[in-house]
Structure 1
Amino acid sequence: MSIPSFGIGTFRLQGQVVIDSVRNALELGYRAIDTAQIYDNEAEISQAVAESGVARDELFLTTKIWVDNCARDKLIPSLKDSLAKLHTDYVDLTLIHWPAPAHGIPVEEVMHELAEAREQGLTRQIGISNFNIATTRQAIAAVGRDAIATNQIELSPYLQGRKLTGFLREQGIHVTSYMTLAYGKILKDPVINRVARSHDATPAQVALAWALQLGYSVIPSSTRRENLASNLLARQLRLTDEDMALIATLERGGREVSLDGLAPDWD
């Protein structure tokens, strides 16, 4: 099974806002939806799907297990609760949201429980999110690298993560990029805008195309239908080698998300 290259993200979207965003995305042709237990919007996503009329078997649903639910006696019950909110018998992909080294639950234990959830048919694929090289190695030791469908990590032209993505490539673990637009900071970057003008594209399309061209999946979010439609066009944008080389120079360690007690020591 593969991970869709393009999906709709729902981080920080709740209530009617997320319902409208997901429904618009589905109407525009999106078929992959990324959510998480901590986003507190799984039920609203279910409502948006129901209103869209898109069949369940046409969708790729991802959710993430929050750190409070990673213990052996909590992970599977919490996933079942997510399924109830999403009104589905299974999700296509379940990720461990953060390795949470200060939370006291070994990666091995969490991954074994996640693999058990897959065996029970609650999720079709399993993976990790925000894992560095060391914690990814622990996950591999627990369940094998072939079992890990993806590592969803923050990546943008300002945070290119070459060491970690290189390691994941060596291990055959797919990369999913989140925060690809760096909270919108990328949209004002002079280099990105110069590349965008040369292709008659938007800065967002350039950043997304950059990630896609590197082989990553992307899950941008938007509350505006026109932006959702525009972002999809990144799939048709082909950047030149010169464009990619220019964007490579933008690396500056520009991390936007790193939560105390949850994040590992970043590579």
Structure 2
Amino acid sequence: MQSIDLCDELEFWPCRELRLECHGAELLRNEDNLVWRAARALAKRVSAAEGAEIVLRKRIPLGSGLGGGSSNAAATLLGLARFWNLRVPAAELQNLACELGSDAPFFLCGGTALGTGRGEEIYPLPELPPVFLVVVYPGIPVSTAAAYGSLSLTLTSPGSANKIASFCERTQEGAGCLTGIFNDFETSILPAYPAIREAKILLEERGAVATLLSGSGSSVFGFFNDEESALAASRGSVRETWRVFPAKTLSRAEYFQRMFG
């Protein structure tokens, strides 16, 4: 798992009660919105006497496989704890994040990490140097439940390219260490969604060192050798319904700097 600089924005303002205001996307009603659920869960756990007005500005497409909802949930836990001047133990925040979603615990950590179990057990890995990439959202969401339902898993082959230790040894190669990576979801998602397959091929044709489906989709991303190549690839024409984001990997330190300024 890897944090990048594509993100939504959250603001916290004084208020007597909890309120959520959303901009940029048609989101779920409060009871099902992960930001709202995270705020309510933290307030209940610490018996908070204060409220807050939370403003969410969406940039990450819904259903894109980029962890937008999970990252917002984790950022809400961290942001509200700071806003309310709470000293919440890291283990307590981790437990709350696990209750909100399998991906949420990673976003309490950031950087480069290994996720095991359902993804909720997070182990930091050696940091990648800055790697530039292009993310393409092909304008269609993919249901996570449906994606898992279509997945036919087999044991991973024992080749060195599949070993975490081998990856860790090569992290300083930058984009070069990412060649040979794969996503099991591609075997079922790419045949079922021609637009996703087309987006992946497009990135390959524009010079990506490696391309991959993000999570269970629908976004795909490609790694490039330098920022200039990534920006050039992101500026080319695409289908009208697609969205293209040039991005960069973030270290853990950069991740928290971006979060809190």
- What TM-score do you get using the length of structure 2 for normalisation? 0.25
- What TM-score do you get using the length of structure 1 for normalisation? 0.25
